[in-house]
């Protein structure tokens, strides 16, 4: 499973990219709005750290306006993936954009049927929102498993991005369920690194070495 960062914060991108684990990036209008950063400025900086797929979302509500947004966003880089909402207008836009060779990420997916429709219309990626499914008392993990099973059964090439990740456990669950990618917020990346036994072990190594009196390696 590949790991993407879900953010529009440039400092977060810089730090996680320095770990050597980052295969791509996803943003959405809420994340960009939070940073109050124009997309052009964001892209100029982000492209220094992310060479893999970088999802930018359209704002238009009709297929035509989504297509217009997509053509504009694509100018920011060859690695730009166009994020479209899974609506009827989003599907119409997807049909046109996939025929033109755009990479697409169908977002706000909350059911296996939505994922199936996206795959049939040529989506490169689908993004089931596991955390928001959990929020309404259903099981986000089960949704990823179901989509995976359907895509495997019918040899659909669309990749699954587990999105709306809220905990380190969600990342493990996405990997076990067979997601191709998990897009993870910065704070969850930090939690994935941390383990109390790692800290305890490191302290013991340091203390034992200090007691030994040996100088240098
Ligand atoms: O990748 C989608 C994500 O940004 C939404 O996450 O936590 O707002 O449901 P959340």
- The mean pLDDT value for 23-33 works out to 96
- 65 with 73: CB under 8 angstroms? no
- 7 with 32: CB under 8 angstroms? no
Q: Which of 105, 110, 163 to mutate to test the pocket of ligand 1 (most atoms within 8 A of CB)?
A: 163
- Residue partners of 206: CB distance under 8 A and separation at least 6: none
Q: Which of 172, 70, 178, 84 is nearest to 127 (CA)?
A: 84
**What is the SS3 assignment for 148-161?**
HHHHHHCCCCCEEE
Q: How far is ligand 1, taken at its centre, from the CA of residue 163, in Å?
A: 6
Average pLDDT of the chain is 97
Model confidence pLDDT, tens digit, residues 199-211? 999 999 999 999 9
pTM of the prediction?
0.96
Model confidence pLDDT, tens digit, residues 49-85? 999 999 999 999 999 999 999 999 999 999 999 999 9
Write out the two tokens for 151.
Answer: 């895509």
Q: Which of 132, 138, 189 to mutate to test the pocket of ligand 1 (most atoms within 8 A of CB)?
A: 132
Q: Which of 217, 204, 200, 161 is nearest to 4 (CA)?
A: 161
- Atom 4, ligand 1: which residue's CA is nearest? 164
Q: Which of 117, 112, 76 is nearest to 98 (CA)?
A: 117
| DSSP3 helix / strand / coil % (the chain, rounded to 5) | 50, 20, 30
Determine the 3-state secondary structure of 26 from DSSP.
strand
Say which residue the tokens 């929102």 belong to. Answer: 129
């Amino acid at each position: 499973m590949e790991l993407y960062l879900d953010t529009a914060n440039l400092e977060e991108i810089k730090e996680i990219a320095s770990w050597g684990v980052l295969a791509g990036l996803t943003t959405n209008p809420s994340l960009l709005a939070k940073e109050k950063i124009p997309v052009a400025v964001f892209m100029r900086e982000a492209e220094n750290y992310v060479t893999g797929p970088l999802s930018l979302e359209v704002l238009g509500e009709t297929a035509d306006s989504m297509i217009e947004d997509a053509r504009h966003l694509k100018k920011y880089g060859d690695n730009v993936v166009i994020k479209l909402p899974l609506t009827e207008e989003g599907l119409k836009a997807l049909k046109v954009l996939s025929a033109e060779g755009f990479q697409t990420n169908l977002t706000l997916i909350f059911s296996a049927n939505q994922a199936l429709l996206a795959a049939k219309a040529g989506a490169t990626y689908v993004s089931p929102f596991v955390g928001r499914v959990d929020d309404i008392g259903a099981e986000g993990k089960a949704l990823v498993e179901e989509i995976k099973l359907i895509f495997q059964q019918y040899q659909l090439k669309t990749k699954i991005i587990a999105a709306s990740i809220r905990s380190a456990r969600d990342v493990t669950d996405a990997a076990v369920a067979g997601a191709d990618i998990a897009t993870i917020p910065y704070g969850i990346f930090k939690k994935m690194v941390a383990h109390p036994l790692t800290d305890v072990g490191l302290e013991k190594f340091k203390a034992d070495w200090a007691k030994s009196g040996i100088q240098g390696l």
